[in-house]
Amino acid sequence: MPSIEIKIKRIEKDPRNTLIIACPEPSLASVVTIEYIIDTLKMEEIGAIRFRNVPPVITAVDGAAKLPYRLFYRKDLGLITIRQHVPVPIELYGEFINKILDWAEENNIRRVICLTSIPAVGEKESDTVYFVTEEYYVDEFKSLGFQPIRDAIITGAEAIFLDSVLSRSIVGALIMAESKVLTAIKKLVESGKVTSHRDVMYILGQTVGQLGPDITAAIKLIKAVSKLINYDIPLDGLTEHANRYAFLVEKNLEMYLKPPKETTTTPLVY
Query: Per-domain residue ranges for the chain?
Result: 11-257
Assess whether pLDDT exceeds 90 at residue 213.
no
pLDDT value at residue 205 = 54
> Using an 8 Å Cβ cutoff, are 128 and 179 in contact?
no
- Tell me the average pLDDT across 70-88: 90
Q: Which CATH number fits domain 11-257: 3.40.720.10, 3.40.50.1000, 3.40.50.10900, 3.40.640.10?
A: 3.40.50.10900
Asked whether the beta carbons of 149 and 89 are under 8 A apart, the reply is no
- Per-residue pLDDT, 270: 40
What's the pLDDT at 234? 93
Q: State what percent of residues in the chain have pLDDT above 70.
A: 78
CB 81 within 8 A of CB 38: yes
Give the pLDDT score at 251: 52
DSSP secondary structure letter of residue 207? H
Report whether pLDDT(258) > 50. Answer: yes
Q: Please, are residues 157 and 23 in contact by the beta-carbon 8 Å criterion?
A: yes
pLDDT at 172 over 90: yes
pLDDT tens-digit series, residues 7-52 = 877 788 888 899 999 987 777 889 889 989 999 999 999 998 888 8
Query: Strand 59-61 and strand 79-84: pairing?
Result: unpaired
Taking each helix axis as running N to C, give the angle between helix 29-40 and helix 247-257, from 0 to 180 degrees, rounded to the nearest 10: 150
**Residue 85 banded pLDDT, cuts 50, 70, 90:** confident
Give 88-137 pLDDT, tens digit per residue: 878 888 999 999 999 999 888 999 999 999 988 888 889 999 999 999 99
